[in-house]
Amino acid sequence: MKKQHNHNIAMFIDCDNVSSKYIESIFEDLSQYGTVNIRRAYGDWKDKKLFGWENVLQDYNIKPIQQFAYTKGKNATDIAMIIDIMDILYSKDLEAIVLITSDSDFTPIVTRILSDGLTVYGYGESKTPMPFVNACSQFIYVEKLSGLQNDKTVYDSAKNHNDNNITNYVGSNYDIRKDYKLINLIKQGVEITADEQGWADVKDISMYIRKNSSFSQINYGFKKMGDLIKALDLFDMEYFGERKTQLMIRIRDKWNK
């Protein structure tokens, strides 16, 4: 009989490769997915570069795991994390594992976790190599997550069609309406999930895209998928619910009528 999950999540933090200042934003984002029951942070706590983590670990009840640097130039933290992740896979009933790191060395363990049917949420800085980003079920750049939660003007940019906010947030030369890789990804999601009239529910589109890529709209400066789609200005949109809240939205390609 298949075990029933309660959306239990285990978190592993590579403190050598991610700043402690992003942890609040990460916890806020993870709250929508379940309960982080296991929280572990790895590093050599004698290293002055990790001093910023001390208060954070206490505030969020994260268990510090001491890992001495036995050999200069070798990252013993990675090995300790991987061993503990493998132990957790065999001993705990989990829905997902969170890896907070900017190190591509964890790419093989992501593949191993996914093979057990678990979701892998990755969080890392913009320096994170693409192999790790692409391997995760969903990967979010912590700089963009933190900036989005601290700057409401960015979140409102799609509603107001303020192109300057979008451009300044994602990059000085970035135009979301010319990001053809993103556009094709969303169009594919619409095509796969649409009904006979060509209408597709935004939630269904999001689920399809996330099953087939490490996509997150947060990396484009949007809290909600509906806001990103609105900014593209390529789809007809219909809202359902009181006061046209974005709890229920369906879209259709403007050319498919």
At 192-241, the pLDDT tens digits run: 999 988 899 998 898 888 888 889 999 988 988 889 999 988 888 888 76
For residue 88, the enclosing domain spans 8-149
Residues 140 and 24 grouped into a single domain: yes
- Residue with the bigger pLDDT between 7 and 20: it is 20
Residues 112 and 163 grouped into a single domain: no
Considering its fold, how many domains does the chain have in total? 2
How does pLDDT run across 50-84, given as a tens digit for each residue? 888 988 999 999 999 988 765 554 467 788 899 99
Residues 15 and 70 grouped into a single domain: yes
Residues 27 and 71 grouped into a single domain: yes
Residues 64 and 37 grouped into a single domain: yes
Q: Look at residues 149, 181, 199 and tell me which one is the last residue of a structural domain.
A: 149
Residues 157 and 109 grouped into a single domain: no
What pTM was computed for the model?
Answer: 0.78
How does pLDDT run across 29-44, given as a tens digit for each residue? 999 888 999 999 999 8
**Rounded Cα distance, 211 and 99, in Å:** 18
